[in-house]
Structure 1
Amino acid sequence: MAVEVLLPKIGLTMQEGTIDEWLVPTGGTVAEGDALLRLATDKVDVDVEAEAGGLFHPVVPAGTTVPAGALIGWLLAEGEQPPGAAGAPDASAPMSTGDRLPVSPNARRVAAAADVDLTVVRGTGPGGRIVSEDVEEHVAALAALAAPLPGDLITPLPPGGASSSPLVRKLAKERGIDLSEVNGTGPGGRIRRADLEGVAPAAEEPAPARSGEVIPLTGMRGTIARRMHASLQEMAQLTHGYEVRMDAVVSLREQLKEEWADSDLPVPSVNDFLLKAAALALRDHPLLNATVREDGIHLLDDIHLGFAVAVPGGLMVPVIEDAVALSLTGIAGRSRALARAAREGRISPAQLEGATFTVTSLGGYGVDFFTPVINPGNVAILGVGRLRDGVEWAGDQPLRTRVLTLSLTFDHRAVDGAPAAEYLRTLGELLSKPLRLLV
């Protein structure tokens, strides 16, 4: 009996995904648990395993973006045809003349024009109702199955070389990478997108935009666009700028570098100090660690810090769970591991969900002040600027200091200006005495 292969929903927020590559050729034998495809979502790329066994027949080619839950292939028994294909048995149970198939009038017209049997069409409307889009997708699927197998569905292993997907070949061309020099880590030595990262350090940066280029609002880029637009539409966002002294942090880091030179302890970065201080300050100012729902402002018990990581084509926000309970070195180790996993495409959906507050930094790009946009579900986000020289006057004498500017964007529906300012003041006090952050 034919088994549907549906695009899985990876994580709570996934709306659509792109089939990066099929890992099994058309007609190939699949066992339950075998890796079937490489899925690229708005947050992460993952291998998807087959939920059943059979002979695999894709419905859409690699590179296609489809909504979560969409039909993308079939697992068939030996000699069985995909439902709806020429000579294939009906996938649906026969309907008596008394049964009424839930179909929209427009879908009936489209089906009649295309000579489609509606009993084999999968409805996605309310209550399983078949809409015109379902018929159009069914027709497109039949055309794909009837056509000769496109070479880009899966590439055979060339003599002396490794196979790769169309997307990997496209990225390699854009980045000037010779695929014959790449060691593939996929099944049979197939080259995956993550394998390109180890070949050229520049692969961590997105390819430069070109004049006249059209960048589709799909996948990660489309999700970022939708969320940021929704965030600004649904919240009353304001931003406070606040300069903090970092002399004590800089001094302590230098001391730790010297004392820990022969140990395995990770020396915390400036951002690690900020992450720890941000978490402790949230404990004293719970209004900033909250979410707005229909029935009111919910102050959250747990403090889970998200921190922004730039990746090719967008941004990921890994989450450090229970950040208050971690030591500074614990936060340093966790942030580095998560950032590395995000850049290498190894991070899991679970590691990208559940943030109650986010920290994002543009200091490495020379930015002093900016207005970060709140991640939907949170009520605040902290932006971190460049560590720079400042001046303080001691009488008539100028003293060199080390400062940076914090940009706190908050939802005015939940937080007023004064509590937001008090949070920043607490943050500054914690950074002025960083020994308290080590525990």
Structure 2
Amino acid sequence: MAFQIVLPKLGLTMQEGVIGGWVATPGQRVSLGDTLFRVETDKVDVDVEAEGEGVLATAAEAGAVLPVGAVVGWLLAEGESVPEDGASPDGDAGQGAAASSAASTPTPAAVPVTGVGTAGGRLKASPNARRVAAEAGVDLQTLTGTGPGGRIVSEDVEDFLARPLPGEAPAERPADAVEPGATAGFVGPVVRKLAAELGVDLATVTGSGIGGRITRSDVERAAGEGRSTAARSAAPSRAGRTPDGPRPGDVIPLRGMRGAIARNMMDSLHSMAQLTHGYEVDVTELVATRSALKAEAADTDRGAPSLNDFVVRAAALALRDHPLLNAGIVDDQIVVADRIDVGLAVAVDGGLLVPVVRDADRLSVTAIAERTRELATAARGGTLGLDDLEGATFSVSTLGAYGVDFFTPVINPGNVAILGVGRVKDGFRWEGGTPVRTQVLTLSLTFDHRAVDGAPAAEYLRTVGRILGRPLALLSGI
């Protein structure tokens, strides 16, 4: 009997996924536990294994965007054919029809072009890049990704499409467009965008790419030659490269990660009675302690804990005394968690991920620092697993690096509170009649008033402030 292969639900917020690629091939006999295909979700990429045995028949092409539960293929007995109605004898014909419809959508033939590179190992591409490539008939294997971890993003596809085919004249551009240098046959939109952000006149740039094409390196080199070190450091950059972002006139669908964030935040605000307290903490001693640690670690490769690492530990320790903030509401009941797993908001291209530090109250500041660095690197590199993203009982969101003092973070669904961390700024206190300079940090606690009242929330903030005021004790684990 035909066994349906459906797109699995990987996480509470997943509503759709992208078939990242089939590992098994149609007609191949697979066994229980064999990897069939890779699915790209709004958070992570996951290998899907066979839950049965049989000969594989596929119903969805790589790059197809499908809802959870859609039929993507079957495992057939020897000599068995795919069900004509797209469903197994006891299956859901509606899902099968939806998958069959998706699978039957014609995919244009790949454009015969000279490849600019292939991604090493498994092909990594964003859902939007796959959609744009499928619509234009571009083989993603011919592209080199410029996104996190070499991931192919939609700009890479657009840049490739804008390049003329071998022997073809460059496309005619508007009269007001910036003309490239004399040796440049064409300037792609991604390179043009980079030049605009770095203030580089493309007419002065000589391309070093194929056929004299101006590359990113050419633009960056021109920017370095024409601007001072201070000006270069002020140019928009993140992790050594110009960030990808929306351009005037773009239409951005609320799908994938962005769609998941939109749904989660609206659900959070509509389903909770959220209130935010602001609280200033004197962190003068903490800043001095961290500066000393940073100086000690200058000659090592381990680095010093960040101020946020201290805050995460303090927040976790304070939850021991205020367990009502380490809870969730389920079926009109407040369920207090039996462990303290702190989620950390990490900004990534196209959205936000919240990886989890397990048992944060049991970890030293140094261990938290190591774990947060690992999670942040994995989040920006697209290598987080579902286990890294599920199950936070409390969350911490930091915007201090952006110069923000106070903000109102939105609670992650399933929790009753989230702590926002602002920047460290100058303050003062009176010693007798003399003002003394201090360092002040603003904390923003958003809590669900259904579970926590204002006074207990304020007491929690006071406990966090008291713990942060004793950095040596916090560092030693006392």
TM range (shorter): 0.7 to 0.9
Distance 1:167 1:381, change over 3 A: closer
> Aligned ranges for residues 114-125 of structure 1 at < 5 Å?
122-123=91-92
After superposition, residues 361-376 of structure 1 pair within 5 angstroms as 361-376=398-413
Residue matched to 1:105: none
- Which residue of the partner structure matches residue 438 of structure 2? 401
- Does residue 137 (structure 1) correspond to residue 98 (structure 2)? The answer is yes
CA displacement at 1:268 relative to structure 2:
0.8
Contact 2:124 2:151 survives alignment (8 Å): no
Q: CA deviation at 1:55?
A: 5.5
1:315-351 CA-partner distances (Å, limit 9, x unpaired): 1111111111111111111111111111111111111
Which residue is 1:10 aligned to? 10
- Residues 109-161 of structure 1: CA distance to partner in whole angstroms, max 9, x if unpaired? xxxxxxxxxxxxx42xxxxxx5xx547526625744xx6x6547xx9998794
1-structure distance, mates of 2:242, 2:325? 33
Structure 1 residue 62: Cα displacement = 3.1
Asked whether the equivalents of residues 342 and 396 of structure 2 are also in contact (C-alpha less than 8 Å), the reply is yes
1:334 aligns with 2:331: no
Amino acid at match of 1:137: A
- The equivalent of 1:353 in structure 2 is 390
Question: Structure 1 CA distance, aligned partners of 2:125 and 2:303?
Answer: 39
CA distance in 2, matches of 1:11, 1:370: 28
Report the Cα distance in structure 2 between the residues aligned to 1:276 and 1:2, rounded to whole angstroms: 52
SS at match of 2:11: coil
- 1:303 alignment counterpart: 340
CA displacement at 1:396 relative to structure 2:
5.0
Q: Say whether residues 1:196 and 2:157 are aligned partners.
A: no
CA contact (8 A) 1:390 1:401 kept: yes
Structure-1 separation of matches of 2:52 and 2:128: 30
Shift of 1:196: 3.5
* CA 332–42 in structure 1, closer or farther in 2 if over 3 Å, else same: same
Partner of 2:278: 241
Shift of 1:370: 0.7
1:313 aligns with 2:350: yes
Name the counterpart of 2:37. 37
Q: Equivalent residues in 2 for 1:25-104 (5 A)?
A: 33-51=33-51, 56-76=56-76, 81-84=81-84, 92=89
Q: Does residue 379 of the first structure (1) align with residue 416 of the second (2)?
A: yes
1:170 to 129, 134, 141: 129
Higher relative contact order (CA 8 A, sep 6+): 1
C-alpha distance in 1 between matches for 2:242 and 2:265: 22
Residue 258 in structure 1 maps to residue 295 in structure 2: yes
CA contact (8 A) 2:409 2:419 kept: yes
**C-alpha distance 252-241 of structure 1, shift in aligned 2 (>3 A):** same
Q: Tell me if structure 2 keeps the 8 A contact 1:204–1:343.
A: no
Q: Which amino acid aligns with 1:215?
A: I
* Residues 162, 139 of structure 1: alpha-carbon distance in 2 compared, 3 angstrom cutoff: closer
Give 1:205 shift.
8.1
Identity of matched residues, %: 53
Residues in 2 aligned to 1:244 and 1:91: alpha-carbon distance in whole angstroms: 62
Query: After superposition, what is the alpha-carbon deviation per residue over 1:371-395, rounded to whole angstroms, capped at 9, x for unaligned?
Result: 0111111111000111222233445
Say which SS state the counterpart of residue 423 (structure 2) adopts. coil
Moved more, 240-249 or 219-228: 219-228
Deviates further, 412-421 or 75-84: 75-84
Structure 2 unmatched runs, 5+: 134-139, 157-215, 217-237
Distance 1:165 1:329, change over 3 A: closer
Q: Distance in 2 between matches of 1:429 and 1:63?
A: 52
Alignment coverage as a number of residue pairs: 384
Matched, 1:279 2:316: yes
Are residues 205 and 82 of structure 1, via their aligned partners in 2, closer, same or farther at CA, if it must alter by over 3 Å? Answer: farther
Structure-2 separation of matches of 1:354 and 1:33: 26
Counterpart among 301, 316, 326 of residue 289 in structure 1: 326
| Structure 2 counterpart SS, 1:61 | coil
Secondary structure at the counterpart of residue 101 of structure 2: helix
How far 1:423 sits from its partner (Å)? 0.9
Q: Contact conserved, 1:205 with 1:311, CA < 8 A, in 2?
A: no
Residue by residue over 1:248-279, the C-alpha shift from the partner in whole angstroms, topping out at 9 and shown as x without a partner, is 11111122223344556542101000000001
2-structure distance, mates of 1:60, 1:20: 11
**What displacement does 1:417 show?**
0.9
TM-superposed CA distance for 1:37, in Å, is: 2.9
SS in 1 for 2:287: helix
Alpha-carbon distance, 1:16 to partner: 2.5
Task: Give the match for residue 361 of structure 2.
Answer: 324
* Paired amino acid for 1:170: A
Matched residue type, 2:398: S
- Mark the runs of 5 or more structure 1 residues left unpaired by the alignment: 94-121, 124-129, 184-190
Distance (Å, rounded) in 1 between the aligned partners of 2:147 and 2:32: 22
Cα separation, 2, equivalents of 1:72 and 1:204: 38
SS in 2 for 1:238: strand
**CA deviation string 1:348-378 (max 9, x = no partner):** 1111111111000111111111101111111
The TM-score normalised by the length of structure 2 is 0.69
1:233-262 residue CA offsets vs partner (Å, 9 max, x unmatched): 111111011111121111111222233445
The 3 A distance-change label for structure 1 pair 158 and 278 is: same
**Counterpart secondary structure, 1:385:** strand
How much does 1:409 deviate?
0.4
1:280 alignment partner, SS class: helix
Correspondence for 1:420 among 439, 457, 462: 457
Matched AA of 1:140: S
Pairing 1:21–2:18 present: no
Distance, in Å, in 2 between the alignment partners of 1:337 and 1:142 is 38
SS at match of 1:423: helix
Q: Give the Cα–Cα distance (whole angstroms) in 2 for the partners of residues 256 and 51 of structure 1.
A: 51
Structure 1 residue 399: Cα displacement: 3.0
